[in-house]
Chain A
Amino acid sequence: MVINSACNDSSLLLTGQQLTFRVEEGITLIRDVTVAINEGELIGLIGPNGAGKSTLLRLLSGIDTPSDGCVSVTVSGSLKPVSALAVRERAQKLSYLIQGAKAHWPIEVEQMIALGRLPFQKWWQPASDQDQEKVLRAMRLTETLSYRKRLVTSLSGGEQALVMMARVLAGEPEIIFADEPVSTLDPYHQLHVMELLREHARGLKSAVVVLHDLSLAARFCDRIYLMNEGELFCEGVPERVLTQQNVACVYGVDSRISLVGKSLSISPVARLRNHQQGR
């Protein structure tokens, strides 16, 4: 179903071709990874710690430049290398939500969310009516309106996560890249954030989200990229990627997979003795 749309080039939003990322002294964090993101897709990026998920996300969102390979985005119908875009234009299209995002400075919730509009403003311009409208919309979506005047640093972890989501949503980017946005949240807030991402990834927009909760990935994502040791292990719809064998091979855990409602539920039960961790 969703796989089919991957073949349709007209709906392609972003591609990463054979991405490799090396840091000094030949340590390779990512090797030869190819990714395609289509309109309306919510893509899950999963894999064990150190598999290169965050690195891949940073390359795709244009924060880091790959050592080899090329990230391209669709600009008015044709693919263009992301490095050829002006940084502002890139920032308008691609939004990055860092892992464990937090306020480094006590500032009010509303101002924090308004920072998501920065790529649309020149330095001498104050926020326009349109900017304010977008900020208001983001606050409504994330249900953060009730504490808009409070300092971000005084909020609970779940509230802060929603504020960070609102900041990203206020920019109305084509693609949201979210790095483990739910890993520290309670189930209620986990679902809220995932629903927001799901809601965003409709129509012409999409989102890529790094997850550790495999059931959550299976339930919300259209497609899943499974990473292992810097390489792409497997890609496709959740049913195809999240098999007992794949989970055992990559994560080194025995798991119980069952169908709950329409989606898979994956619960890890035991570590496998002979699994080689790390590189």
Chain B
Amino acid sequence: MNSYPRVLGLLFLAVMGSFFADICVGPVTLQWANIWAAMVDNKASLDALILFEIRLPRAFLAMLVGATLGISGAALQGLLRNPLAESGVIGVSNCAALGAVLVFYFGMTQWSWFVLPLAGLVGALVSVVMIFLLAGRSGSTVTLILAGIAINTLAGALMAMALNFAPNPYAMQEIVFWLLGSVANRSMNEVLITVPFITVGWVLILSCGRFLNALTLGEETTKSLGFNVRHLRWRLVIGVVACVGAAVSVSGNIGFIGLVIPHLLRPWVRHDPQRLLAVSALGGAVLLLLSDVAVQLLSSGGELKLGVITSLVGGPFFLYLILKNRNVWS
């Protein structure tokens, strides 16, 4: 169970399985024969249309967003050496969400499909610029968290204001539903716009793996081990902002995955912060794909939002983890 390649392989299989499950589930049962015929003979087929235009983008997004939330949670918990960290603590999720909320507020969604994700990305960019300005280039980890929390709160307040002054009930409903988090009704375009940012973010985070391991000894000792702490800290933060910003800008705020997944998987990699990164990415993807399956199975009429179910399942589960592991953290 505990060998790293085996854990990776197992989780990879789980990703494949849940991805397939997510494609199969939905209001229409897909006829694979029809899809095959459509692909081979170029025949028009409703099933193929549903698969390529609705199910695949949705499953891809669930996978990418879940992996992003998992890996960034693991990265930030390692950087801050705090088991409660997730992308919220550096303010990026709320800032990206705020960007999207403003688009709804001003009714700009009709302009083009890319206005919404673009606004989310701009929001994420604003968050990292603000952290830079507040924490300073040489800022310590503590100033980084303080700046992040301040930005997060401010963005949350501005979102509340946008809801407060929403021009009409429809805009308000749109904002609320979007904030709850979902990967439904997205197109391949949205997948494609996020992929570059998410990839850059993942690469930046993964290249900091050994730095996270060294941080187990504290920042001073990490410095003495030949790491440029300041440089690597920013690299990690920028990596998280890039991928989480992109993820939030297309899916809204999906809670608890960044918090729960690293906790759940940490014993599987013997508490190794570097190995936890890739494992959390895979685990996050599995959890979000399965949540999306659950959403579609449970929905009747009004759709249950993805963020609701992750928090609903995540909250009690997190509580259980705390009770089980409290001696480790004391």
Contacts and interface: CB of A to CB of B under 8 A. Distances in A.
Contacts of A90: 226
Given A103-B217, A106-B271, A106-B329, A63 B81 contact: no
Interface stretch (B182-190, B205-213, B242-250): B205-213
A267 interface: no
A151 to B, nearest CB: 7
B330 to A, nearest CB: 9
Contacts of A154: 328
A92 to B, nearest CB: 7
B227 A151 contact: no
B270 A111 contact: yes
B221 A101 contact: yes
B224 A112 contact: no
Contacts, number: 83
Give the size category of B's interface with A.
20 to 34
A163 to B, nearest CB: 11
A103 B222 CA distance: 12
Interface residues of A, number: 35
A115 B224 contact: no
A55 to B, nearest CB: 13
A167 B217 contact: yes
B212 to A, nearest CB: 9
A61 B225 CA distance: 11
Given A123-B207, A167-B217, A111 B271 contact: yes
Interface in A103-126: 103-108, 111-112, 115-116, 118-119, 121, 123
A118 B209 contact: no
A17 B214 CA distance: 31
A180 to B, nearest CB: 14
B271 A115 contact: no
Nearest to B210: A123
Interface in A51-96: 61-63, 86-92, 94-96
Most-contacted residue by chain B among A95, A103, A107, A167 (CB, 10 A)? A107
A91 B225 CA distance: 5
Most-contacted residue by chain A among B81, B217, B272, B328 (CB, 10 A)? B217
B275 to A, nearest CB: 10
B217 A87 contact: no
B225 A98 contact: no
A119 B225 contact: yes
B199 to A, nearest CB: 17
Contacts of B207: 123
A153 interface: yes
Given A111-B270, A118-B210, A104 B224 contact: no
A170 to B, nearest CB: 11
Interface in B202-244: 207, 209-210, 213-218, 220-221, 223-228
A161 to B, nearest CB: 14
Given A104-B216, A105-B273, A123-B207, A87 B227 contact: yes
B224 A103 contact: no
Nearest to A120: B226
B78 interface: yes
Interface string A146-170: 0000010110000000000001000
B217 A96 contact: no
B82 to A, nearest CB: 9
A118 B271 contact: no
Contacts of A123: 207, 209-210
Q: Which 3 A-B pairs have the closest CB atoms?
A: A91-B226, A96-B224, A104-B81
Interface of A: 61-63, 86-92, 94-98, 101-108, 111-112, 115-116, 118-119, 121, 123, 151, 153-154, 167
29 contacts: A63-B220, A86-B226, A88-B226, A90-B226, A91-B224, A91-B225, A94-B224, A96-B220, A96-B221, A97-B221, A98-B220, A103-B216, A104-B215, A105-B215, A105-B273, A106-B329, A108-B271, A111-B213, A111-B271, A112-B216, A112-B217, A115-B217, A115-B225, A118-B213, A118-B226, A119-B225, A119-B226, A151-B271, A151-B328
